[in-house]
């Protein structure tokens, strides 16, 4: 099992646990929690694969449904301690979006799409699972209102193409992009950087002109 | 029209009526109710067919859009009496999920996927329409919180492969699986069996350790 | 740039602005508003293309993601004045659904589907983006409760096939269908025509029998 696979599974586990925890808070039963965990973990890549017209990745490798089952087992058994692991999950989650972004971008590239579609597919792979999760638990998607999340994926995608433009070898390009996503995400949360809301811009405009 | 087709249409009718009734309760107009009915009836199979990369089944046979129109007409005309038919609809619905499960599983099998994907596709065919319905009416999906529903589909899928493993002929395998789904569903509702919620497990853990 | 393309882009702009404005009202950040705008503009066509198993149209032409970016810029800069342009946006939006309906219908026709699928695909192209928008902002889809909207798309689709049946040339058929959608939509809003809700039908029935 190479390092890419390890990070992929770590990210899947972190995504699944985030879905399962939010489902538990909404009184979902064990099955509902499993489905929300699975959708969080594989939803972004599934939307990407449907758009690219390739077989959804989790249908050719049982690891993802099994990792989600392990995530559920973990939450059930260690429910009391899960809350103390928030920082660990956050790091795992950030590793996950970094890796998912690069995997998604390259899968789109392999399907022959132009660079801006590839960057978008990287972003969808990293961020759409969380949007589906929030739709399933009937909440407004969190990433549309808080933190830098999908922007980190898009930023990493641009770094990928910058490395490409400078002719760097592909493994350095991959690592640079994934580490960029990870770093942007960590720094944004640490320094509480977020995008302005449109409605606050309105108030700003009003003051500028008033 | 063979017996499979009859059950398929009966299930479609029951699914469509369940969507139309919930839409009516949310003050949807006739068109909205029709769309929610159609999505409930064909949504699960459509997601399955998109994942399998085959043409969505309802786009090659007009029966499903017509049955949904009949369901709408039925609810409009017999609105007052519909509530007295709850048990009938429940039986029809349970027949539907039994049949949908087998149809979905075999369609996935025909597309060449492994057994665990086929079982999952059976479950998606039986249960995902109801999830889409609940998303459209902006409610938390019911099957994630109440009753044994999708678990019945998955159980039926496993029965299918058990029959397969014993070398039973395909029609007996199909009937056994569909009847299993139907029976699990009926018994679970009759005896009020449901999966525990994750949050109640938390309380259990707390008591165990406290 | 021919007239069809102009109308296509005008419709895209209007759809994107409608999504961005509703996202702003929900306190979405700039990225969230962009995504909701994009989903509103390209969501209907994307669902259609997934169902037809063709490459989603916006993945082969960067215009749509750029127009959505311009829509966001427009709303940010002219936020104070946007509210005075409601009627203009409404006209643009009605032009958009007319054109989207014809484009969607013909794309389905080109993929070799029967007429009733083509009409449905016209309706999905015109109306599904708004449904996805409302799901993303966690509201009950507006078109299921108010106004004639998707019905206008379906009406235009039927006009298309009537022109076809009379042997009219294809450009006249296209224009007739698009203008019909536009006209039905404008008239329905002007005269406040809407479909009855199912629940009000229930009351009617009760009075009839009481």
Q: Judge whether residue C205 has pLDDT over 60.
A: no
Tokens for A50, please give them: 């449907």
pLDDT at site C200 = 66
Mutate to test the interface with A, among B54, B118, B144 (most CBs of A within 10 A): B144
Nearest residue on chain B to A31, alpha-carbon basis: B144
Q: Measuring CA to CA, which residue among A201, A112, A108, A89 is closest to residue A153? A: A108
CB contact under 8 A, A29 and B209: no
Cβ-contact B103, B125 below 8 angstroms: yes
| A residues 58-87 lying closer than 8 A (beta carbon) to C | none
C-contacting residues of B 129-148, CB under 8 Å?
A: 135-138
pLDDT at residue number C201: 59
Average pLDDT over residues C176-205: 84
Cβ atoms of B14 and B82 within 8 Å: the answer is: no
d(CA B86, CA B17): 11
Is A186 exposed, middle or buried (CB count within 10 Å of its CB: 0-12, 13-18, 19+)?
Answer: middle
Determine the residue among C133, C198, C201, C203 to mutate to test chain B binding: the one whose Cβ has the most chain B Cβ atoms within 10 Å: C198
Which residues of chain B have a CB within 8 Å of the CB of A56? 51
Determine contact, residues C8/C99, Cβ cutoff 8 Å. Answer: yes
The answer to whether the Cβ–Cβ distance between A27 and B131 falls below 8 Å is no
| Phi and psi torsions of B111, nearest 5° | -85, 0
Residue A63: is its pLDDT beyond 70?
Answer: yes
Q: Helices then strands (H, E): number in chain B?
A: 9, 0
pLDDT value of position A167: 94
Vertex B121: Cα angle to A24 and C119 (nearest 5): 105
Helix, strand or coil, per DSSP, at residue B33: helix
Residue-level pLDDT at C209? 40
Structure tokens at A154: 């898009």
Given a cut of 80, whether residue A199 has pLDDT beyond it is no
Q: By the 8 A CB rule, do C157 and C119 touch? A: yes
**CB contact (8 A) between residue B150 and residue A36:** no
In terms of Cα–Cα distance, which of C65, C82, C81, C84 is closest to C18? C82
Question: Within an 8 Å CB–CB cutoff, is residue A208 touching chain C?
Answer: no
B146-178: b or e for each residue (b if 16 or more CB lie within 10 Å)? ebbbbbbbbbbbebbbebeeeeeeeeebbebbb
How far is residue A181's CA from residue A179's CA, in Å, rounded to a whole number? 5
Tell me: the pLDDT tens digits for B43-88? 999 999 999 999 999 999 999 999 999 999 999 998 888 888 888 8
Q: With CB atoms and an 8 Å threshold, state whether B145 touches A24.
A: no
Residue by residue, DSSP assigns B95-160 as HHHHHHHHHHHHHHHHTT--HHHHHHHHHHHHHHHHHHHHHHTT---GGGTSSSSHHHHHHHHHHH
Question: Lowest-pLDDT range, A71-75, C77-81, C107-111, C168-172?
Answer: C77-81
Q: How does the average pLDDT of chain C come out, rounded? A: 90
* ipTM of predicted assembly, 2 dp: 0.89
Instruction: State whether the Cα torsion B178-B184-B187-B192 is positive or negative.
Output: negative
Q: DSSP letter at C57?
A: G
Calculate the average pLDDT of chain B: 90
pLDDT at A205: 45
DSSP state of C144: G
A24, B197: Cβ pair inside 8 Å? yes
* Cβ pair A139, C139 in contact under 8 A: no
According to DSSP, the residues that pair with C29 across neighbouring strands are A197
Q: How many CA atoms lie within 13 A of C116 on its CB side?
A: 9
Q: What would the pLDDT profile of B89-110 be if each residue is shown by its tens digit?
A: 889 889 999 999 999 999 999 9
Over the range C83-94, which residues count as b (16 or more CB within 10 Å of their CB) and which as e?
Answer: eeeeeebebbbb
CB burial class (10 A; 0-12, 13-18, 19+) of residue A206?
exposed
Selecting from A27, A46, A56 the residue whose C-beta is nearest the C-beta of B145 gives: A27
- Is C53 in contact with A51 (Cβ distance < 8 A)? no
| CA proximity to A138, closest of C144, B137, B132, B139 | B139
Are C168 and C176 spatial neighbours (Cβ–Cβ below 8 Å)?
yes
In this prediction, residue A148 carries a pLDDT of: 86
A139/C137 CB distance under 8 A: no
Contact B205, A39 (CB under 8 A): no
**B10-14, C83-87, C94-98, C151-155: least confidently modelled range:** C83-87
Residue A202 pLDDT > 60, yes or no? no
**Residue C1 binned pLDDT confidence (cut-offs 50, 70, 90):** low
In this prediction, what percent of chain A has a pLDDT beyond 70? 94
pLDDT of residue A3: 79
| Beta carbons within 8 Å of A109's beta carbon, 6+ residues apart | A118
Is B204's pLDDT higher than 50? no
Neighbouring chains to A with at least 3 Cβ pairs closer than 8 Å: B, C
Residues 6 or more apart from C179 whose CB is under 8 A from it?
A: C98
* Cβ-based contacts of C29 with chain A (< 8 Å): 144-146, 194-198
Task: Determine the average pLDDT of the residues in A144-171.
Answer: 92
């Amino acid at each position: 099992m190479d390092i890419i696979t390890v990070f992929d599974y770590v990210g899947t586990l972190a995504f699944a646990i985030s879905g399962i925890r939010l489902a538990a808070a909404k009184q979902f039963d064990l099955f509902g929690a499993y489905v929300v965990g699975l959708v969080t973990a594989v939803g972004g890549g599934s939307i990407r694969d449907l758009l690219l017209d390739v077989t959804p990745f989790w249908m050719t490798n049982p690891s993802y449904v099994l990792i989600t089952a392990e995530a559920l087992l973990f939450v059930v058994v260690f429910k009391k301690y899960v809350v103390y692991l928030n920082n660990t999950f956050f790091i795992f989650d950030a590793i996950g979006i970094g890796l998912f972004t690069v995997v998604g971008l390259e899968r789109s590239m392999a399907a022959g799409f132009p660079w801006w579609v590839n960057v978008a597919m990287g972003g969808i792979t990293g961020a759409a699972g969380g949007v589906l999760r929030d739709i399933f638990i009937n909440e407004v998607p969190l990433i549309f209102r808080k933190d830098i999340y999908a922007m980190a994926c898009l930023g990493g995608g641009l770094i990928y193409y910058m490395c490409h433009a400078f002719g760097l070898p592909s493994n350095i390009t991959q690592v640079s992009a994934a580490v960029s996503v990870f770093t942007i995400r960590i720094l944004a949360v640490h320094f509480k950087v977020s995008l302005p809301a449109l409605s606050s811009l309105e108030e700003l405009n009003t003051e500028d002109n008033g």
